[in-house]
Structure 1
Amino acid sequence: MYEPQEDSFLLLRNVEEIKGKKVLDIGTGSGIIALSLAKENEVTAVDIDEEALDFVRKKAKEMGLKVKCFKSDLFERVREKFDVICFNPPYLPEDKFDKGRDTTGGMGLIERFLKKAKGHLREGGVIYLIFSSLTGDVPSLAKKMGYEVEILEKEHYFFEDIYLIKLSPLS
């Protein structure tokens, strides 16, 4: 399970004021985003790691929160539409020597996500997506795939810049 790092906190700072929305947290990991947003929103959290989902279920129960959790590879088992989709993917380029690392997946994973995301957004829905300067040109990819892109924040850490973008489907 991915422990919250700077990227998680960057995303959290920008979404914690969301209220009264139907939210999907893809790749929930530790559940920091899902649990924070569940206080004032209807939240669904998905991940491919059953241990991460068990952790989120347990924390939600301890905190008296309701979070719908289930195993899904991106949108594979997601049938609903949402006002907000949050995705802090394993954005580093794929490590050919260690494909099991939970921090890699890169542009290929983000492209898979963007192909399906529009179909899971309600009218006026938005996506909050984290990526790294090492990932590639995610804003250009998103624009090519029919999204309006707004860069909300950029932070520099060691060898990379971390970006948070807000995406809205173009009609």
Structure 2
Amino acid sequence: MITYRTLLSEGKEVLQKAKIMDFEIDAWLLMEFVFQIDRARFFLEQNETVEEEKAETYRSLLAERAKHIPVQQITHEAWFFGLPFYVNENVLIPRQDTEVLIEEVLSAVKKYRIQTPKILDMCTGSGCILLSLLANIEGAEGLGADLSEKALEVAQKNGSLLNLKVEWCLSNLFSHINGKYDIIVSNPPYIESAVIETLMEEVREHEPRMALDGKEDGLYFYREITKQAGVYLNAGGILAFEIGYNQGEAVSQMLKEEQYEEIKVVKDLAGLDRVVIGRKKQEDSHV
């Protein structure tokens, strides 16, 4: 028999030996998941013995994490903007940095008094961006588009779990998109192809390559989306992107060339460029 405290120490040691960067945090997260225990209860019961069957479950999950499989893929849960999302190996794991994109879009909706907006989320992945917006904008409608059928299965599951009304579309960018939208938002693949091999093993080996690879210069999808988005945006509509830390100037220039107004680059909590957002001219120049 083994106590909670000893088992957690064992978990930390296993992950440290496997060179897991956040080994202490991850050992705790897996314990929290297996035993459904919070910190307060752990401190009260840390010297009590645990069920052997659950201890073995914990050890098996530690073995998975030791292979550098992300914790969120092991538990199939990631929190984003205060909401729980199901994730697996077919979608990018929602990241806190992306919450800046949600905040900026919500701010724009308020600033421009956009009532019951229609939102298009291009390259939707898990659906976390679109679903977070729908959960926070009364009366909003949304369509999430992605080239991956498996990603859309995850997004659809998240829509159901969160009980939000939303539509999903298998589409190569705008190839199967119809109608007009008040907001187009996207966190597209933006890592340069040559850089992907230098990423952490957790990302490089366990997250979908097609959701990472922005082609040679990392800007391919920004160019394509920006060139086409105006046809699908209502006059005065919002185009908003998550970007890489060194892409603010280039993506801003793309929006300028397409005659967007009030363009701004927004930084994340680390002080790095994270979002580019602009507004389509009030008069609709596209026919």
TM-score between both structures, scaled by the size of structure 2: 0.53
Instruction: Tell me by how many angstroms 1:108 deviates.
Output: 1.6
Which residue of structure 2 lines up, in the alignment, with residue 27 of structure 1? 123
Tell me the distance in 2 between the aligned counterparts of 1:131 and 1:4.
14
Of residues 231, 236, 239, the one that matches 1:127 is 239
Q: What RMSD over aligned residues (CA atoms) do the two structures have, in Å? A: 2.4
The aligned length equals: 169
Tell me the distance in 2 between the aligned counterparts of 1:75 and 1:151.
24
Tell me the distance in 1 between the aligned counterparts of 2:243 and 2:156.
26
Instruction: Tell me by how many angstroms 1:96 deviates.
Output: 7.6
Corresponding letter in the other structure for 2:98: S
Q: Is the 8 A contact 2:188 2:242 kept in 1?
A: yes
Deviates more, 1:58-67 or 1:8-17: 8-17
Corresponding letter in the other structure for 1:73: N
Summarize the Cα distance change of 1:82–1:45 in structure 2 as closer, same or farther, 3 Å threshold.
same
Corresponding letter in the other structure for 1:28: T
Summarize the Cα distance change of 1:33–1:11 in structure 2 as closer, same or farther, 3 Å threshold.
same
- Structure 1 position 103 matched with structure 2 position 212: yes
Which residue of structure 1 lines up, in the alignment, with residue 261 of structure 2? 148
Instruction: Tell me by how many angstroms 1:134 deviates.
Output: 3.2
Corresponding letter in the other structure for 2:134: A
Q: Which has the higher contact order (CA 8 A, sep 6+)?
A: 1
| Structure showing greater Rg | 2
Instruction: Tell me by how many angstroms 1:146 deviates.
Output: 2.1
Which protein has the bigger strand share? 1
TM-score between both structures, scaled by the size of structure 1: 0.85
Instruction: Write the deviation string for residues 5-32 of structure 1: whole angstroms up to 9, x where unpaired.
Output: 1332111222346461100011111111
Deviates more, 1:143-152 or 1:34-43: 143-152
Q: Is the 8 A contact 1:143 1:149 kept in 2?
A: no
Alignment map for 1:1-171 (pairs within 5 Å): 1-16=91-106, 18=109, 20-39=116-135, 40=138, 41-95=140-194, 100-105=209-214, 106-135=218-247, 137-151=250-264, 153-155=266-268, 157=270, 161-170=272-281
Tell me the distance in 2 between the aligned counterparts of 1:137 and 1:156.
21
Deviates more, 1:114-123 or 1:27-36: 27-36
Tell me the distance in 2 between the aligned counterparts of 1:3 and 1:36.
15
Summarize the Cα distance change of 1:8–1:156 in structure 2 as closer, same or farther, 3 Å threshold.
closer
Tell me the distance in 1 between the aligned counterparts of 2:103 and 2:192.
25
Instruction: Write the deviation string for residues 79-107 of structure 1: whole angstroms up to 9, x where unpaired.
Output: 11100011111122233876945222121
What SS class does the counterpart of residue 95 from structure 1 fall into? helix
Which protein has the bigger helix share? 2
Corresponding letter in the other structure for 2:278: L
Deviates more, 1:137-146 or 1:96-105: 96-105
Deviates more, 1:1-10 or 1:115-124: 1-10
What SS class does the counterpart of residue 191 from structure 2 fall into? coil
What SS class does the counterpart of residue 194 from structure 2 fall into? coil
Q: Is the 8 A contact 2:196 2:213 kept in 1?
A: no
Tell me the distance in 2 between the aligned counterparts of 1:37 and 1:161.
23
Q: Is the 8 A contact 1:11 1:164 kept in 2?
A: yes
Q: Is the 8 A contact 1:95 1:104 kept in 2?
A: no
Q: Is the 8 A contact 1:132 1:162 kept in 2?
A: yes
Q: Quick one: percent identity of the two aligned structures? A: 28
Deviates more, 1:101-110 or 1:60-69: 101-110
